[in-house]
Amino acid sequence: MADARRIGLAALLACAFALPTRAADAPASAPSAAASDATVKFEAPTARLTAADPALEARMLAITGELRCLVCQNQTIADSHADLAADLRQEVREMLQKGQTPEQIRKYMTDRYGDFVLYRPPLKATTAVLWLAPATLLAIALAALALVIHRRSRLADDEFEPEPMLDDEPAADPLARPGTLA
């Protein structure tokens, strides 16, 4: 009986998570009963263009895997479905077909969009905070933890004992409120 409930719950959750993805995959021209001019319509993701040469496609994916999508900002150009990312993938593909090296393509992208387009920006004076902040915060947290542990180790053992109850006798009437006469 419990196994049947678990299976039913798992099936229900699977359906619940599958439904939103189906709505996002629906074409934009599909009519909606509640659609109005003020609602946002879902569009089908753009189809990825692929090069006829698999080696060229692999090189393009390797390069775009190191470049940040300027729309999504948390994905690479290779992973993003944004229109700009598709355009940049095509541009990188064309640059590779013209014989440009990955370094030339990265330089072109950074000249055009700045160091932000690099998924791993170089260590410069302008990006030093990005690289040093995590290590600095970790060092501060470890120092604070060491200080707390050191202070606790210097305390006497009896300081960790809870204070005894002031009133060991239970109340005569558990429903009586303090400050009222029973």
Do residues 62 and 85 both lie within one domain?
yes
Residue 116 or 39, more confident: 116
Q: Is residue 24 part of a domain?
A: no
- Which domain range does residue 136 map to? 122-150
Amino acid, single-letter form, for residue 147: L
Residue 165 lies in a domain: no
Question: Do 137 and 103 fall within a single domain?
Answer: no
Encoded tokens for 63:
């390069």
| Run of H or E including 137 | helix 128-154
Instruction: Look up the CATH number of the domain holding residue 58.
Output: 1.10.8.640
Return the DSSP state at 67: B
Task: Output the pLDDT for position 23.
Answer: 40
Burial group, residue 127, by CB count within 10 angstroms (0-12, 13-18, 19+): middle
Tell me the average pLDDT of the chain.
Answer: 75
Count of C-beta atoms within a 10 Å radius of residue 86: 17
Q: What does the pLDDT read at residue 121?
A: 80
pLDDT (0 to 100) of residue 81? 93
Do 70 and 97 share a domain, yes or no? yes
pLDDT in tens, 132-169: 899 999 999 999 999 999 988 887 666 666 666 666 55
Please tell me whether the overall predicted TM-score, pTM, comes out greater than 0.75 for this model. no
pLDDT of residue 91: 94
Q: Is the pLDDT of residue 92 over 70?
A: yes
Residue 137 counted as domain residue:
yes
Which percentage of the chain shows pLDDT scores above 90? 37
Mean pLDDT, rounded, for 21-36: 41
DSSP state of 167: -
pLDDT band at 122 (very low <50, low <70, confident <90, very high): confident
Count of structural domains within the chain: 2
Largest Cα separation within the chain, whole Å, is 95
How would residue 129 be classed by pLDDT, with cut points 50, 70 and 90?
Answer: confident
158, part of any domain:
no
Burial call 45-68: b when 16+ CB within 10 Å, e when fewer: eeeeeebeeeeebebbbebbebbb
* pLDDT of 32 above 90: no
CA distance 109 to 87: 13
Note whether 60 and 106 are same-domain residues: yes
The CA dihedral of 70, 89, 24, 36, to the nearest 10 degrees, is 70
